[in-house]
Amino acid sequence: MTDSPHISTSQRLFESDAPQALAAATFLLAGFALARQHELLGEIEQVLRESPLRHMQTPGGFTMSVAMSNCGALGWVSDRKGYRYTPMDPLTNAPWPVLPSCMQQLATEAAALCGFAGFMPDACLINRYAPGTRMSLHQDKNEVDYSAPIVSVSLGVDAAFQLGGMQRSDKPLRIGLQHGDVLVWGGEDRLRFHGVLPIKPQHHPLMGPDRINLTFRKAG
């Protein structure tokens, strides 16, 4: 038997009761966003009406396959000049949309459950992966203060996340991420290399073929 080209996404039914440690300071909160999924998706829709998803240019002149937008006081951008955070959306020439309350509370609560009390993100990068989209191994290094953690929320179809080491050449662990999963990492794991393998064709009841990832950061 051959694989169907559009297998349905596996569904997590419940949130786990405790964070699962993937490394010393990297934690998976399985299903932690499920209880607020509809409110979250509504907030994301509203943000994207104001600052739409777009494919940014890399400094080397390539077009990124992940479509991105941001909300919060600062937003991550890439163009021919490099990677950085800006207070204004270069597409709309207006400030990035305000970080909505359900999104912000989710990030603060998830961080606290993993030992990072008082996490106040000032930036949320929204990544949209269509089938086939990947994000190659990289470090998140554009933030001013590495003592703050990063919180990520996975929505939509499943992804295979790569958790690498401190060198690009360190063999990454492969971790399956499902709709509603939340990852928190900080401390000694803050600068680990990480990436996302190409998204397989799948169907999610709320998100169709796509995956959306939110990453909450203290950027400035």
Positions in the binding site for Fe ion (CB under 5 A): 140
Which partner in Fe ion, ligand MD3, none is near 135 (CB below 5 to 8 A by kind)? Answer: ligand MD3
Give how far the C-alpha of residue 130 lies from the chain's centroid of Cα atoms, to the nearest Å.
14
CA dist., res. 179 & res. 202, Å (int): 12
- Interacting residue with ligand MD3 among 183, 199, 207, 219 (CB under 6 A): 183
Which partner in Fe ion, ligand MD3, none is near 36 (CB below 5 to 8 A by kind)? Answer: none
CB-wise, 49 or 141, nearer to Fe ion? 141
Which residues 6+ apart lie within 8 Å of 13 measured at CB?
A: 31
Which partner in Fe ion, ligand MD3, none is near 163 (CB below 5 to 8 A by kind)? Answer: ligand MD3
Could you give the angle at the alpha carbon of 208 between the alpha carbons of 207 and 212, nearest 5°? 40
Which partner in ligand MD3, Fe ion, none is near 143 (CB below 5 to 8 A by kind)? Answer: none
Which partner in Fe ion, ligand MD3, none is near 119 (CB below 5 to 8 A by kind)? Answer: none
**Cα–Cα nearest to 156, from 14, 33, 5:** 33
Q: Is 26 in the site for ligand MD3 (CB under 6 A)?
A: yes
CB-wise, 4 or 112, nearer to ligand MD3? 112
Residue 160 Cβ vs ligand MD3, minimum distance, rounded to whole Å: 10
CA dist., res. 100 & res. 167, Å (int): 35
How big is the site for ligand MD3, counted in residues (CB under 6 A)? 16
b/e map 85-96, b = 16+ CB within 10 Å: beeebeeeeebb
Strands 135-138 and 194-196: antiparallel
- Interacting residue with ligand MD3 among 44, 163, 207, 219 (CB under 6 A): 163
Helix axes 101-113, 37-50, angle to 10 degrees: 130
For the segment 114-143, give every residue that binds ligand MD3 (CB under 6 A).
125, 127, 135, 140
CA dist., res. 149 & res. 189, Å (int): 9
Which partner in ligand MD3, Fe ion, none is near 70 (CB below 5 to 8 A by kind)? Answer: none
Question: Which residues here bind ligand MD3, judged by CB under 6 A?
Answer: 26, 125, 127, 135, 140, 152, 161, 163, 183, 185, 189, 192, 194, 196, 213, 215
